[in-house]
Chains A and B, each alone.
Chain A
Amino acid sequence: NAGVTQTPKFQVLKTGQSMTLQCAQDMNHNSMYWYRQDPGMGLRLIYYSASEGTTDKGEVPNGYNVSRLNKREFSLRLESAAPSQTSVYFCASSEQGAHYGYTFGSGTRLTVV
């Protein structure tokens, strides 16, 4: 099925460990995004990539890095995981322009102990 694929779906890390969350879309969208979702808060933007070859910080970028590997793939890396990074992470993609919808991945539930 066309859409946004995120891996893994679940992950438990120890404090200080590193990991990369993978995201791929097959809709030929230019823009891709990483969000985190925490209880009682709206989705918050971590990083985004407006187009292939560009990445920019969102609201909460500290502790994360991203790579736009190609037009399809946008990965999120935690270099040294902290308990405050326990969250559900969503990748999304869209076309550029105001009147295009977003497609979200199914999420990655990350726990840092």
Chain B
Amino acid sequence: KNEVEQSPQNLTAQEGEFITINCSYSVGISALHWLQQHPGGGIVSLFMLSSGKKKHGRLIATINIQEKHSSLHITASHPRDSAVYICAVRPNSGGSNYKLTFGKGTLLTVNP
């Protein structure tokens, strides 16, 4: 079983819709990252969370440490939001706490 599970794997939305992508993990963590990758492109860090909620523009990320769950929300989605969104956790197990474990990603397509 993967330590980091994302859902859904694929998501298609209409422009303007509210989007939610979920991430569940099975290990104790010191931080959780949300990353964005456009098709054929590099990887950009969106958020790093260890508790609570962060907001940047139309993107909101939340984390519940007790439930080992995080969500990434996109409000008023736009076609330029089409990308793969990747959840990654930084386990807090001893010497490996600076390495990330990645989910497989959620492919988001926003149609105009």
A positions within 8 Å CB-CB of B: 31, 33, 40-45, 48, 50, 58, 90, 92, 94, 96-107
A98 to B95, CA, bound (A): 11
User: Beyond A42-B2, A42-B4, A98-B30, is A50–B98 a contact (Cβ under 8 Å)?
Assistant: yes
A100 to B98, CA, bound (A): 9
Contact indicator A42/B99 (Cβ below 8 Å):
no
A45 to B99, CA, bound (A): 8
Interface of A is mostly: loop
Residue of A nearest to B43 (CB): A104
User: Which of A31, A58, A90 contacts B43, CB < 8 Å?
Assistant: A90
Name 12 extra pairs, CB < 8 A, besides A42-B101, A58-B99, A102-B100. Answer: A31-B98, A40-B104, A41-B104, A42-B104, A43-B88, A48-B99, A90-B42, A90-B43, A96-B98, A98-B30, A99-B50, A104-B45
User: Beyond A40-B104, A42-B104, is A107–B86 a contact (Cβ under 8 Å)?
Assistant: no
Residues of the A chain whose Cβ atoms lie less than 8 Å from the Cβ of B100: 43, 45, 102
Is there a chain A Cβ closer than 8 Å to B41's Cβ?
yes
Residues of the B chain whose Cβ atoms lie less than 8 Å from the Cβ of A44: 102
Bin chain B's interface residue count. 20 to 34
Residue of B nearest to A50 (CB): B98
Residues of the A chain whose Cβ atoms lie less than 8 Å from the Cβ of B35: 104
In chain B between 83 and 112, which residues have their CB closer than 8 angstroms to a CB of chain A?
86, 88, 90, 92, 97-105
Residues of the B chain whose Cβ atoms lie less than 8 Å from the Cβ of A99: 30-31, 48, 50
CB distance from B63 to the nearest CB of A (A): 13
A106 to B31, CA, bound (A): 23
Residues of the A chain whose Cβ atoms lie less than 8 Å from the Cβ of B101: 42
In chain B between 1 and 60, which residues have their CB closer than 8 angstroms to a CB of chain A?
2, 4, 30-31, 33, 35, 41-45, 48, 50
A90 to B44, CA, bound (A): 12
